[in-house]
Amino acid sequence: MTSTALSPFVAAVGDYTDAGWTGVLPLPAEAKFPPPRGFTGPQGAWPDADQLAAWTEAMPDGNVALRLPDTVLGIDVDAYGTKLGAETLAAHEARWGALPATWRTTNREDGVSAIRYYRIPAGLSWPSWLGGKDDGVEIIRTGHRYAVVPPSIHPEGRPYRWVTPDGRDADRVPSPEELAELPDAWVTGLTGGQAERAQATTADVERFLAGLPAGEPDGDVRRILGGYLDGLTDGDTSRHGAMLAVTWELAVAGATGAQGVPSALAEAEAAFVDARTADGGSRREAVREWDRGLSGAVSHLIENAVPVLEPFDVPADLLAALDAHLDRRRRGSRPADVLVQDTASADPFGDRLITRRGLAKLPEPEPLISDTIDRRTVALLAGYHGTGKSFVALAWGACVATGTPWMGRPVRKGRVLYIVGEGAHGIDGRLDAWEQANGVEIPDEDFVTYPAATQLADPGVREAILRHLDRHPYDLIIVDTVARSTVGLDENSARDMGLFIDAAEQLKRATDGGTVLLVHHTGKDKATVRGSSALEAAMDTVYTTEGDPLNMKLRRTKRKDGPMEDQLHLRLTEVGRSAVLQSLDVEVQRKTTDSDLDVRAFVALGTAFGDRVFTKAEAVTVLTDEEQAALSRASAYRVITRLGFAAVLHSVDGANARTVRFVLNRDAARKLGFPDARPFAPEPTDGGPFDLSDV
């Protein structure tokens, strides 16, 4: 297998496709999540050659994920720490027989923790866990998860590797045909021979709903909907069960000609999502849960070939008899007071209490930007006019959208929504400057802008945003600025700012693990956050900016969880049409990212050689020159390798030539956002190396 710790995805994608694996996906560098959208799960697409080429160009340093075909299954055993994978595996081997040796991937040395890959018959319904969810063994399959595979690097720094059936570390990728076959006893034990039900796609559901009779719900539909809404206050299990029941009953009612099912489904969905959110759950996950339930109902109808019938009238005497029968059923089984007790919690406050041991199960703070701001928080960035607060917010957003380290600090890649209340027209120039300075192009789908102020405390505006967030996930929402988003509110009023704070919290919960960043002003003293102290008091993290563009100070003044002390000295440096932040701290400057080095190297090579051919040795000479890129020899060789993988360096003689010669590929460099670097003086015409002493 091609080996490089610098660019796992670009180095390995060919090895996997050549071996017959079709589900090769990129992940952020040294990370296990997130995969590209739309390529995982039961309805995920399979990448073609053009898509792989685009990923190779956009994420050469990414980790490698493998979505398994429907003829391969992975048994993922976790046997480290307190994980119970070894015991669970042994118990099932005692029951169904020992598993045969097969190819596996791992990043650990305990000899047990690994993903074991087996060939399986297609078309069966497989579970997601061996035993229970907490038993340490997960089943990886086409519709559930993916495998992180070599040459990826674990977030803790350990390399992934392939291990052969006889226990040796492998230097190649196996083909699916080389995997051992899962024994029949295991196939039967895991599936019971049950065939996999074809899940209705989003298009299937949309076609089904489009064919239903519209209009106001008729008596049958109102009865189904009313019964569901009345019983929605049951516990969590009943909520899910009631959701499955109402989606099935309404789908059948619609298919048999009942009128008004689409509007009833919409009302039932809204009630279900609100109930789940009131329980403290995620709106996005509640919407997904509903969509899965409705998809399952439609799947049953499709599987059983139930067509959508034309509406028809049911005789009034039959409807009256049915109403009387249902009413007797509702009243006959239990007294009315018991029904009331069952449909509403007797202690809604107590239902949400957490025990001492339960506190230990709460999620630990996870960084969005390491040592800076965390996920699942609302943060405040405040500064006086002209102190660069919007430049900081924009840099944080660009780094999250691309996964680019900020000031040497690792960043979790995700989608960004930037709500621009002030100066929307200047954002493009600032992002151009950031892309040029960092050598990274911000993907359109990962950084989106709303070019107007939004009044978050307005229920109608807030609900519109929440509906958008239900189906469009973001990891960071930036509201710039608080003043423009609280028009009509008194920012000195604790009550008014409490309404705004609650709205920001609702946005945070809707992101399902994301972060909301509020950009605000400081007062006339240029240090105190302007307005009611209730705003700052409610924040998880607070940063302030001080100074001027040539000598800025970014300081953290509050952090609920973790160390509070954090202070950076920054300046704005002109780049292109705008400017970017640059650290004045020597330690931060030493943490220059690979992309910074790549841009610096390209500028040095472009300045020295222009469009002429040069050797690898000549490139190293330029890159290590103190007046040019000033890299170490090791860094120079790494940069040359990266630029080669990114197609910025084009080999004119082929890989097998005794002397490797390159020419700069300016088209590839332009796509990466590199500046157009050319010699300062006329190029020599004798074909020899450019004389740096002449510059």
Which DSSP category does 649 fall into?
A: E
* pLDDT: which is higher, 684 or 368: 368
Same domain? 427 vs 511: yes
Q: How confident is the model at residue 119 (pLDDT cuts 50, 70, 90)?
A: very high
Q: Are residues 136 and 70 in the same domain?
A: yes
138 and 29, same domain (yes or no):
yes
* Domain extent for 183: 8-191
Same domain, 71 and 117: yes
Residue 674, domain CATH? 1.10.10.10
pLDDT at 6 over 70: no
Backbone angles phi, psi at 59, to 5 degrees: -135, 55
Across 600-624, average pLDDT: 88
Is residue 237 very low, low, confident or very high in pLDDT (cuts 50, 70, 90)?
A: very low
pTM over 0.75: no
- Domain membership of residue 324 (yes or no) is no
Classify residue 194 by its DSSP letter: P
State residue 322's pLDDT score.
56
Residue 543 has pLDDT above 60, yes or no: yes
Say whether both 113 and 223 belong to one domain: no
Evaluate whether 477 touches 507 at the Cβ level (below 8 Å).
Answer: yes
Question: Residue 89: its pLDDT value, please?
Answer: 93
The alpha helices in 279-426, defined as continuous H runs, are: 283-303, 316-332, 336-343, 356-359, 389-402
Identify whether 1 is part of a domain. Answer: no
468 and 614 fall within a common domain: no
Last residue of a domain, one of 573, 590, 607: 590
* Range picked from 101-110, 264-273, 442-451, 455-464 for highest mean pLDDT: 101-110
Report residue 501: phi and psi, to 5°.
Answer: -60, -40
More confident residue, 494 or 359: 494
Q: Is residue 616 part of a domain?
A: yes
Note whether 113 and 137 are same-domain residues.
yes
Q: Could you tell me the pLDDT band of residue 682, with boundaries at 50, 70 and 90?
A: very low
| CATH code of the domain containing 458 | 3.40.50.300
Question: Both 452 and 539 in a single domain?
Answer: yes
On average, the pLDDT of the chain sits at: 82
- Per-residue H/E/C for 82-137: CCCHHHHHHHHHHHHCCCCCCCEEECCCCCCCEEEEEECCCCECCCCECCCCCCCE
Higher pLDDT, 577 or 138: 138
**H-only helix segments in 211-257:** 219-230, 236-255
Q: What is the DSSP letter of 554?
A: E
Write down the pLDDT at residue 323.
59
Same domain, 385 and 424: yes
409 or 193, greater pLDDT:
409
344 in a domain, yes or no? no
Instruction: Give me 525's structure tokens.
Output: 């003293």
In this prediction, residue 74 carries a pLDDT of 96
The pLDDT tens digits of the residues spanning 31-78 come to 888 888 778 877 678 998 888 988 988 888 899 999 999 999 999 999
List, for residues 615-664, the tens digit of each pLDDT value. 988 999 988 887 777 778 877 888 888 888 778 898 887 545 567 788 99
Angle between helices 219-230 and 236-255 (to 10 degrees): 170
Q: Give the pLDDT score at 691.
A: 34
Mean pLDDT across 569-583: 87
Using CB atoms within 10 A of its CB, is residue 194 exposed (0-12), middle (13-18) or buried (19+)? Answer: exposed
| pLDDT the model gives residue 251 | 87
Is 17 within a domain?
yes
Q: Are 244 and 290 members of one domain?
A: yes
Q: How confident is the model at residue 502, as a pLDDT?
A: 93
Looking at 313, 336, 357, the residue that finishes a domain is 313
What are the tens digits of pLDDT across the range 327-380?
Answer: 554 444 433 333 333 344 566 677 678 887 777 766 677 899 989 999 999 999
In a domain, 90, yes or no: yes
**Residue 176: inside a domain:** yes
With cut-offs at 50, 70 and 90, classify the pLDDT of residue 98: very high
Q: Which of 136, 158, 191 is the last residue of a domain?
A: 191
On whether residue 355 sits in a domain, the answer given is: no
d(CA 420, CA 477): 11
Q: What is the mean pLDDT of residues 169-180?
A: 94
Tokens of 302: 């499709």
Same domain, residue pair 585 and 685: no
The total number of structural domains in the chain stands at 4
Judged by average pLDDT, the poorest of 89-98, 156-165, 248-257, 442-451 is 248-257
Q: Report whether pLDDT(690) > 70.
A: no
Whether residues 661 and 546 fall in one domain: no
Which comes out higher in pLDDT, residue 693 or 314? 314
For residue 380, report the phi and psi dihedrals to the nearest 5 degrees: -125, 130
